[in-house]
Amino acid sequence: MLIYKVFRASEFEAFRRNGTSAGAPVDLADGYIHMSTAEQLPETLSKHFANAEDLQLLAIDADTLTDCRWEPSRGGALFPHLYRTLEATDVIWSRPIALGPEGHDIGDLG
């Protein structure tokens, strides 16, 4: 199962440069890296990244990810939380998220 991490441009550039990331400021504050399922991603984008440009979407295979816990968050839904740094080798693919007049377009997540 693919899960997703959204990075701002500067966070993604640091990740690419270092090959690892402890996450965005909110992840550092909470002690884990916040991720979303495909179903949760649109709400994550609208709630935490409304009108943000230059976002990057990373896809990660949850079945091979160590130290990932599914914990209740918004409305009691279980969200994937990573309790270690994200490594470049964890990422299946990444791509920019387009921002259009209707909001973020994540396209096909397959």
Task: Give the model confidence (pLDDT) of 20-62 as tens digits.
Answer: 999 999 999 999 999 999 999 999 999 999 888 999 999 999 9
Q: What is the CATH number of the domain that holds 85?
A: 3.20.170.20
pLDDT at residue 87 in the model: 98
Q: Is residue 110 part of a domain?
A: no
Q: How far apart are CA 27 and CA 29, in angstroms?
A: 5
Q: Give the dihedral of Cα atoms 107, 77, 43, 98; nearest 10 deg.
A: -30
Please report which confidence band the pLDDT of residue 6 belongs to, taking 50, 70 and 90 as the band edges.
Answer: very high
Are 41 and 2 in contact, with CB atoms under 8 Å apart? no
Tell me, what amino acid is at 107? G
pLDDT at residue 39 in the model: 94
Tell me, what amino acid is at 15? F
Q: What domain range includes position 65?
A: 2-105
Strand, helix or coil for residue 64: helix
Q: How far apart are CA 12 and CA 21, in angstroms?
A: 9
Mean of pLDDT over the chain: 93
- Is the per-residue pLDDT at 110 higher than 70? no
Total number of domains in the chain: 1
Q: How far apart are CA 48 and CA 92, in angstroms?
A: 23
